[in-house]
Amino acid sequence: MIKKSKSLYALLGILSLGPHSGYEIKKLIEQSLNHFWQEGYGQIYPNLKRLVELDLATVELKKQDGKPDKKVYTITNLGRTHLKNWLLTPIQELPKEKHEILLKLFFGQNVSAEDNIAHVTLYKQRMEEVLEVYAHIETTLQNYDDKQPDTVYQLITVRNGIYHARAALAWCDETIEILKNTPKNQS
């Protein structure tokens, strides 16, 4: 166990799939983990250095033609052990959300019902787009003939996104109906 920070484990997890540079890791997180995890460069580069200092990864400078040189990080056996230890540790706490639209709605009596309906309508549109993206990823994963062992794990995380998005859409419909029947009480 290193610390409470899960950033290092996120990086170790990515490196367990293969050697990567910091830039590649950022792209990978944006493409695959974005709906439940985010890391910025300000976290990735210092933490990759730390991984090397802790002997959990090694670095190698790779020269590329037509592109700037890159530093490729490879997980060590010690790194794999640390990752597995963390993967076996029971989850500590439930995810904490910072949900801007709910914060606005909680103080909704300061503005009109119409203004609040507008927020929910916009949120619904965004979530419909998100759901489409997830549905597309799901289809892609299901069409893999070669059932690689990690496909199942990618699938269940995407399925989580789909469940969440559908729940959000149902809540939007209910909320819009409730707010439509709210008497005007502009303060």
Place of tokens 């990567």: 20
User: Can residue 76 be called a binding residue for DNA (CB under 7 A)?
Assistant: no
Min dist. Cβ of residue 140 to a second copy (A): 16
Among DNA, a second copy, none, residue 46 binds (CB under 5-8 Å by kind): DNA
Kindly tell me which of 65 and 145 has the beta carbon lying closer to a second copy. Answer: 145
Kindly tell me which of 24 and 138 has the beta carbon lying closer to DNA. Answer: 24
User: Can residue 171 be called a binding residue for a second copy (CB under 8 A)?
Assistant: yes
List 88, 143, 145, 146, residue binding a second copy (CB under 8 A): 88
117-156 footprint of a second copy as x/- string (CB under 8 A): -xx--xx--xx--x------------------xx-xxxxx
**CA separation for the pair 118, 107 (Å, rounded):** 15
Task: Report the site for DNA in 8-67 (rule: CB under 7 A).
Answer: 21-24, 26-27, 38-43, 45-46, 48, 64-67
Among a second copy, DNA, none, residue 22 binds (CB under 5-8 Å by kind): DNA
